[in-house]
Structure 1
Amino acid sequence: MKPVHTSFIEAVKPVKDGSTIMVGGFGLCGIPENLILALVETGVKDLTVISNNCGVDEWGLGLLLKNKQIKKMIGSYVGENKEFERQVLSGEIDVELLPQGTLAEKIRAGGAGIPAFYTPAGVGTPIAMGKETRTFDGKEYLLEEALVADVSLVRAWKADYMGNLIYNKTARNFSPMIAAAGKVTIAEVEELHETGKLNPNMIHTPSVYVQSLIVGEQQKRIERLTVQK
Structure 2
Amino acid sequence: MSEAMISELIVESEWILKNYWTKTRFAYQTESGGWSDVDVLSYHPETKHLVISESKVRGRKKAIHAYTEHTKRKYGTILEYKATYFSFIPNIPKICSNHVVFTKFSRMVKTITIQLVSNLVIAKSLKNDAESSVLEEIEKYMKEELPGSKAKIEVMLDSTIDVISRVVEDENKHNQGRRYGHPMLDIAREINRYFYPDVGGAGKRTDQTESVKKQATQSFIQAINHREIIRN
TM-score class, shorter? under 0.3
TM-score (norm 2): 0.23
Bigger Rg, which one: 2
TM-score after normalising by structure 1: 0.23
The structure with higher relative contact order (CA 8 Å, sep 6+) is 1
